[in-house]
Amino acid sequence: MYGVGEEGAVPGIDGADQELPLRTGRPGPVSRFTRIWKSGPGAAPAGPVHVSMNDYLIHRLRDIPRVAIAGLRLRRSWPATEGALGLWFASTGIGRRQVSVSIWESPEDLKRFVRSPAHRAVMHGFRNAGDLHTNAWTAEAFDRSLIWRQAEDRLLGRLPDVTHH
């Protein structure tokens, strides 16, 4: 399902990704996400990795800048985040829908980050600014192309029982 070199492979794999079409396989408009990548301090393990995705839909346009700035502040500390392998921040159009896809060495590393004061402050500060859908999964390997396609399947509703905007 997620073979290397298939249509939809992620260009710019070693740098910041640009606006990419997300193909739905159905007729109609192509969704577009602009995304940026940040590496974590962890070394890519030989086996599976833990992936977490947040899909946040901001209620009011005036909240977009402050939500984005808070996310970028968290991103700035990413290279020092224990157990973190990498992070995408993505948004659509004017940024009302913001997505993070983080890759971890283990679920315990994600739990430690979620309990951190910096993360808790962001979650508390924006709890009423939008609607959040989260999900997590195990990827077979630290393969950025594979993981983004898995995230894309979730974001576009291709997987049953996975909530999204």
Q: How far apart are CA 10 and CA 23, in angstroms?
A: 12
Pick the CATH number of 33-155 from 3.40.50.10790, 3.40.47.10, 3.40.50.1380, 3.30.70.100: 3.30.70.100
pLDDT digits 0-9 by tens, 14-63: 344 443 444 444 443 345 788 999 999 989 999 999 999 999 999 999 99
Closest CA to 100 of 116, 115, 84, 112: 84
Average pLDDT of 72-85? 94
pLDDT at 29: 38
Checking DSSP bridges between strand 130-139 and strand 20-22, what pairing results, if any? unpaired
Q: At 69, phi and psi to the nearest 5?
A: -65, -45
Q: What is the pLDDT of residue 42?
A: 87
Query: In this model, does residue 70 exceed pLDDT 60?
Result: yes
Q: What is the pTM of this model?
A: 0.80
Domain chopping of the chain, boundaries: 33-155
pLDDT for res 131:
95
The reported pLDDT for the residue numbered 19 is 37
* List of E strands, the chain: 20-22, 31-39, 49-58, 84-91, 97-104, 130-139
pLDDT confidence of residue 30 = 43
**Which run of H or E residues covers position 117?**
helix 117-125
Q: How would residue 163 be classed by pLDDT, with cut points 50, 70 and 90?
A: confident
